Amino acid sequence: MDPGGTRGLSRVHRHLGGEAKTLNLSKYISLRVINVDAYQSVGIRRRMKRFFRRDGRALIFAMDHGFEHGPTDFEPVWEHVNPKVIIKKVTRAGVDGVMMLPGIARVAADEVRGRKGLMIKLTSKTALRPRDGQLLQSQLGYVEDAIKLGADAIAATVYWGSPAEDVMMRQFAEVANYAHDLGFPVVQFAYPRGPYINEKYGKKEDYRVVMYGARAAAETGADMIKTYWTGSKETFAKVVDAAAGVPVLLSGGAKTENPLDFLRVVSGVVEAGGAGAVVGRNIFQRENPEPMIKALLRVIHRNEEPEDAAKAEGLL
């Protein structure tokens, strides 16, 4: 790691002519900064559009679970442990984007075909760590790695309220600054978790905590925010407001036995002004993910009622 962020800048320099060692960085960069800004925002806007349709909403498939939870998450439908198999299925069914870690992208990013965004997440943790390490996501790759893998957006998690919040904030800031320099949008998985949250608010899904995390994500420069459902559309609307215009996506959560229950949550997100959802288990833990994906697309992009969407796709 490079806490001061010079790793990013030195890479920029290398691309600009390999003179990094002899140049005074700050002087050199200040000469370029005016034009660079315009290039960056065009790049960010164009890449955001690879995820979001014209309605400003997206359904993104998440599959970092083999690392974050372990391969047991795939046991309900074991063939989905093979990333090529599940990614082929979800992209054919019409998701707008796919999120994965760099290692799985090496194996399966080629399956993300057509007009779909590829989001590569640069932080993670295993569920095997001792309990007191579970509140930290470590950086496992660099912005250049994600770009080489064809990423359209770069993601990183911050557990707001964690004892390791400071480390994750810095990681996010470094990733975001460098990705923005190169015209890439950044996604923050803004997950409030930590002992004081439990003590003060009872649970991490309390809307006051979730909206705090969403605001912190916006304040740290996120271009998209992924966070928890707060239990009602009224409270989720406050999360959306707190994010100050940065699109807020739902973090899917554990698979619901009744598909309608999950469709109702996603419908609540959209009605609250949310920008859609990033969904893992509610898709890949189903034998046939296609009807669920199509029903989600109806709710997200066509404003269909969850019951109608579920019936149309044979889920009821």
Write out the residues near ligand FBP by the rule CB under 6 A: 62, 64-65, 68, 189, 251-253, 278-282
Candidates 4, 5, 29, 26; CA nearest to 15 is: 29
For residues 12 and 22, what is the distance between their CA atoms, to the nearest angstrom? 14
Nearer to ligand FBP, 182 or 265 (CB): 265
67 or 178, CB closer to ligand FBP?
A: 67
d(CA 293, CA 151): 22
Nearer to ligand FBP among residue 242 and residue 265 (C-beta): 265
Smallest separation, CB 157 to ligand FBP (Å): 8
CA distance 100 to 93: 18
Residue 128 CB, nearest distance to ligand FBP (Å)?
13
User: 226, 233, 238, 255: which is the annotated catalytic residue?
Assistant: 226
Distance, first Cα to last Cα, the chain: 50
Q: How far is the CB of 263 from ligand FBP (least distance, A)?
A: 14
Residue 71 token pair: 């391969």
Pick between residue 47 and residue 121 the one whose CB is nearest to ligand FBP.
121
For residue 23, what are the contacts with CB-CB under 8 A and spacing of at least 6? 13
Minimum CB separation from ligand FBP for residue 203, in Å? 13
CA dihedral 264, 255, 151, 295 (to 10 degrees): -40
| 226 included as an active-site residue | yes
159 neighbors 137 (Cβ within 8 angstroms): yes
Which positions are annotated as active-site residues?
Answer: 226
